[in-house]
Amino acid sequence: MSDVVKLPRSIAEEMIAHARAGKPEEICGLVAADRQGRIVKIFKVPNAAENKVVTYFMDPHGQFQAFKAIEEEGLELYGIYHSHPATEAYPSATDRRLAFDDASGTPLYPGAVYFIISLADEAHPVIRAFRLPDPNSVEELTVEIVPR
């Protein structure tokens, strides 16, 4: 997998709009790609966390419906996205922990790219992308905004 994520402008704008609509709470969802690995769609999933202002937890039913739609549309999971309404776009310790199974330490979504949208500077939202190879490591990827 490349260290460059080609994110279509329309998808980036949709992610930012979702983050703005949810502020001051975190929002979340799935990023889907076509069979050639091109990002083509996001699936918004309700945040079911107890304290949505500081974390996210995908609603299980909503997440199931999103995965079902990805499969039905012949797409593949590319990544997971969520927002940081007031902090930088970097995986928190909680973000890293939630990406792994508590019991085994294995990744819940092997190969997934984790996108974080920061609204810390409302006028200049930031989208960054990461791989989380293990609970203690973060690898940043370059996000390149491209036309559709």
Residues of the domain holding 91? 4-146
Residue among 116, 114, 59, 115 at smallest CA distance from 86? 116
Q: pLDDT tens digits, residue range 118-135?
A: 999 999 999 999 999 988
Residue with token string 């890293």: 96
E strands within the chain?
Answer: 4-8, 28-33, 39-45, 76-84, 113-118, 126-131, 139-146
Q: Which of 13, 14, 25, 26 is catalytic?
A: 26
CATH number at residue 137: 3.40.140.10
Average pLDDT over residues 11-16: 98
- Domains held by the chain: number: 1
Q: pLDDT tens digits, residue range 53-109?
A: 999 999 999 999 999 999 999 999 999 999 999 999 999 999 998 899 989 989 999
Q: pLDDT tens digits, residue range 26-43?
A: 999 999 999 999 999 999
Residue with token string 């990827």: 141
26 in catalytic set: yes
Enumerate the H helices of 32-127 as residue ranges. Answer: 60-72, 93-98
Residue pair 125/134 in contact by the 8 Å Cβ criterion: no
pLDDT at 113: 98
Residue among 87, 88, 70 at smallest CA distance from 79? 70
